[in-house]
Every structure is written in C-alpha cells, then in structure tokens.
Structure 1
Amino acid sequence: MSKRVEEMILAACRKHPEGMLDTALEPELPGVTVNDRAEALNSLLSSHKLQILVNPADPHSHIYKASAVGDTARFKGLTAEDMLVYQCIQAAGNMGIWTRDMKQRTNLQQPKINKILKALEERSLVKSIKSVQNASRKVYMLFELDPAKELTGGPWYGPDAFDSEFITVLQEATLSYIKSKGDATLADIVRFITETGISKQALQEDDVERIINTLDYDGKIDSMEDDDDGLPHYRVPLMPIPDTTAFTSIPCGVCPVFNECVEGGKISPESCQYYSAWLEQLDY
C-alpha cells in the first residue's frame, strides 16, 4: 500500500512542478487514509524523492515538490535538518542568504547551522560568496548558481576591491575605437571589446553601456539617435568640453558667496585670502 501511495504522490507532484500544498494533494489520493499519506510522505522525504519547501506565496505554509532526476543521489545521506538548511538556501536564489537569516527561518542553533553548511560545501551543494556591500558578511547560495551583480559588483570588482584600473583601460579603449571609427553603436563597441579580448571576463551590453555613459557624462563623446536605425550613435564631439577654463581655475568660480563680494565691502576681492593666494601663484 505504501509504495502505491508514494507513486500516487509523486505522480501528483510531477503534474504540478511549481509545488503542491498538502490540501491540494489530498484530493489526488482518493481512498488513502491520513496515516497512509503521512507514512508515504515521510518515506519520500527520507529518500529525497520529495522536497518540502516554504510556500513562496505564503511563508507560513509549505509545499511539496518532486525531486529532479539525480537529486536522490546528490542528497543521499543528508538529514532532515541538512535538507532544511539546503532548501532555505535554495529559496534565496542568486542573492544568497546569510547565517543569521538561516537561523531565523530554520529555528536551528548557529553551531548546528555552521556544521551543516560545512557538510553542504564539502559536497559542492552550496557555496559562500562575499558581498561587496558588506565585506565582513558571507552569504550562501546553491553551488551551481552565478551570484547576482548586487553581490559581486559585477565586472567592476576584483577579488578584494573596486577595479578602477580596469575601468580606465576600457574607457580609453572605447574612446580610441570611437575616434578611429568616427561613429559607433553600442553593438559595435561590444563587438570590439569582445574581439580584442580587452576584458578577461564576458561583458554584457549593459556593462559596456555604463562605460560609454561615463565618457558621455565627461563630455568626451556625444550620443545622438540615428534617423535611419533609431539607435544611439556615439561620436567624438566637435567642441570637446575643456578640462579647465579661466573661470574654473580662479577661486571666484566656485566661491559660495560670490554674489555678495563687492569692492570695499565686508566680502571683497582685496580682503579674500583665497584670491590673494591665487594671485601669488600666478606666473607673470
């Protein structure tokens, strides 16, 4: 009887890969008693043929999901508590979850969680990632997932810090390419970076667009929508913005009380120490 009930449960769950509530499972098992259903569920959970997960629609309830092919072997030997931690990490996706949240969601003590995490890492089921938002905090996610850019900082972060040198190299190469072409689209620049191998890691279009935007904001390139294809085209400006002007180099150009400065007044050129210092450093 138990094996037949197990097969019925698995068949029902496979029809609902998103998971099934216990209340939805009950009508799928006509003639099966509560005790037989509970016995079959426990057997399937113990053999890892079935998973019990927190219901995404209601964190206070649980759903049953049939395990994927191969999961039975991967999870062999894991206890119910091991699986509870694993499923907690699984639910966090590629944003990961840190141990304090695991403790709250599993009601397990920290030493127990640490022991389970070590076992899961040794079996390459989960991995830890350092977050660029909080270097002292590690988050855990499934081993096969790529961490979200919010965690790693994307391609702009090295192992330990923001990689400003890499960004400068990309900016210079992109600007040089636009100058040589005279006119380039985002797709052109992405292709150029990919083919030249400037970046050791694959850059997505939005990554390259960020580099282009920094050049645009600095006035080193202009962005104009092309009438033919409707796409932004990037070109070197006809009149580049100078790094400095006579007015930006003089203290008056950034003085917060400039409008109150008058000759002979309380605030005046002759009494301004910044103006005097600027005059002294001029090479007449």
Structure 2
Amino acid sequence: MEAAMTAILDLFKRMPEGIPQHVVPAELAGTPASVQRDAVNRLLKDKKIQLQMSANDSNTFVYKEVEAGKSARLKGLAPEFLLVYQCIEAAGNTGVWTKDMKFKTNLQQPQITKILKELETRTLVKAIKPVNQPSKKFYMLYDLEPAREITGGAWYTDQDYDSEFIQVLQTQCFKFIKQEGDPTLEDVSTFIHDKGISRVQLRDEDVMMILNTLEYDGQIEKIDSPDGEDRFRQALLAIPESSAFTSIPCGVCPVFNECTPDGPISPATCVYFQQWLEF
C-alpha cells in the first residue's frame, strides 16, 4: 500500500491542479483495486490529500494535495469541519459569506459558527468585512491576501475612504510634474516609491488614477512624445475655479436642465435665485 500511496502523490507533480477521481485507477492499473482504495483512504485520513469539487465541472471531483504545514493543522478535524474549510478555500481571495456557507454545505448556522471558531483558532481561516458590505462577515484562508474589491485597494484604510492620503498624493504628484517637466507614468510611480510617500504598494494603475484626477481638475495635461509614450506636464491653461456663470445659482444648479418658466422647477419659484437677488 505504501507504494500505491507514493504513486498517487507523485501524480500531483504532473497534475498540480488536482487529480480527477477516474484518473487514479487508470494510472495505477497494475495495482489491485482494493489496494488503490486503501491507499486513497489512508491519504485522506492522514490529511495528505482532500477531495474537492472541480472548479471547471461541478459534476467532477478531484483529489487535491494538502501542503505539509496545513496537513498538520487539519489533522483530527471531523468531516463537517473539512467541508466548511473546503468551501472557504474554493472562494479564494474574495472570501465567502457565512450565509452562503449554509447553502453550500447544508449545515446549520450554529454548527457553522462553531466550526469557524475552531478553524480560526487553528489559524486556518480568518474573518474579513468587504468595504462595500461592511455589515457582512466573510471568511477566507488565513494565508491569503484579500482581493482589492474586498479591501477597497490603496484608497481605503481600515475600511474607510482615505481622502487625506489621496490629497497628499495629488499634491506631491503635481509638484513632481511641475518641477520635473514631462515625466512618464513610470517616472511618477518611481518618484512615489523612492520618496516613500505611500505607506502601501501602489500599482501603475493606482498612480494613473491620481494623474487622471489632476487632469480632470485642469492642473496637468497629457501630451504625446516622439517615443510614443504618454507624458504629463502642468496644464498651460488651467481651468478657472469660478466664472461669471458659476457665481449665480443657475451656474451650479444640479436640476438646471429641468428648470422651465412654467414648470414645477422654475426661476419664479427658485428660493436660491431669490436669495441671490436679495444679496
């Protein structure tokens, strides 16, 4: 049986994504079926492999190899504990909502709560709260980093939108572009990294978002360069903060397009227009 167990584990070198159940008998054709079955059961019992639903086909089950350290932490867990663990593992770095676990595992909520507590104690899973659903508790594997859509990315700190951090980046990027003269996106990203301005690792896409806000505000503009790479410079014609039109209520009215002389929204009934005339 030891030889059969070794042969099964060797299959993961060729199939790291998982071994379909039907593959084992074909690969171990020279081994009696009873020995194959005992080898698989022993590997499952020792938590060296686990049986999961295929990510590509819900009707197919595959054997997945369990990491050595994780195997020790999983040892001794009852089948229902492993079921919850596998449900969380399948969710990846986006996590799974506790109520969704109930439907996916067919276990009762009090039982799931007890299981989650034990899995957290063993540092196998951890609880997270998505920034867009703070009232819901999700679970994911302990060693995984949450996806950006869960944490909110670089612009959120402890699930709060960090407007001060964004303003600091905007100010520093504008100063750099003004002083440097026609830098590229890579130049700006390198500047932020080298100066230690950001306490989190920013991707080029994150820096581009900051540059876009500066461009929309009329502080910088994008220009073409001979090398075909986009560059940025201080805007030659900055957008004025106010004008004659914005000084009157109509210039900043959010329902301006719905305002008509005889409609429910009209200059005659506009309290803001009347206050402006009195002023």
- Whether the 8 Å CA contact 1:89–1:140 is kept in 2: the answer is yes
What does residue range 163-242 of structure 1 map to in structure 2 within 5 Å?
Answer: 163-227=162-226, 229-242=227-240
Query: Secondary structure in 2 aligned to 1:137?
Result: coil
- For structure 1, list consecutive stretches of 5 or more residues without a partner in the other structure: 262-266
Query: Secondary structure in 2 aligned to 1:131?
Result: coil
Match of 1:55 in 2: 54
Normalising by the residue count of structure 1, what TM-score does the alignment of the two structures yield?
0.87
CA distance in 2 between partners of 1:268 and 1:42 (Å): 79
- Whether the 8 Å CA contact 1:49–1:71 is kept in 2: the answer is no
- Whether the 8 Å CA contact 2:152–2:159 is kept in 1: the answer is no
Letter in 2 for 1:202: Q
Query: Secondary structure in 2 aligned to 1:222?
Result: strand
**What is the deviation of 1:64?**
0.7
Match of 2:100 in 1: 101
Q: Would the alpha carbon gap of residues 274 and 159 (structure 1) be closer, same or farther in structure 2, given more than 3 Å must change?
A: closer
**What is the deviation of 1:244?**
1.1
Larger Rg: 1
Match of 2:156 in 1: 157
- For structure 2, list consecutive stretches of 5 or more residues without a partner in the other structure: none
CA distance in 2 between partners of 1:98 and 1:271 (Å): 50
Q: Once the two structures are aligned, what percentage of the paired residues are identical?
A: 47
Letter in 2 for 1:66: E
Match of 1:256 in 2: 257
Note if 1:6 corresponds to 2:5: yes
**What is the deviation of 1:268?**
9.3
Query: Secondary structure in 2 aligned to 1:58?
Result: coil
Letter in 2 for 1:143: Y
Q: Would the alpha carbon gap of residues 268 and 201 (structure 1) be closer, same or farther in structure 2, given more than 3 Å must change?
A: closer
What is the number of residues matched between the two proteins? 274
CA distance in 1 between partners of 2:38 and 2:111 (Å): 27
Normalising by the residue count of structure 2, what TM-score does the alignment of the two structures yield?
0.88
Match of 2:15 in 1: 16
Match of 1:76 in 2: 75
CA distance in 2 between partners of 1:132 and 1:96 (Å): 13
- Whether the 8 Å CA contact 2:84–2:101 is kept in 1: the answer is yes
**What is the deviation of 1:273?**
5.7
Note if 1:88 corresponds to 2:90: no
How well do the aligned residues superpose, as a CA RMSD in angstroms? 2.4
Match of 1:264 in 2: none
Q: 1:217-271: CA deviations, max 9, x gaps?
A: 11111011212x212111111110001110122234354367x66xxxxx99788
**What is the deviation of 1:106?**
1.8
Q: 1:126-184: CA deviations, max 9, x gaps?
A: 11111001001121111111110100001111114111111111111111221222322
CA distance in 2 between partners of 1:269 and 1:3 (Å): 89
Query: Secondary structure in 2 aligned to 1:246?
Result: coil
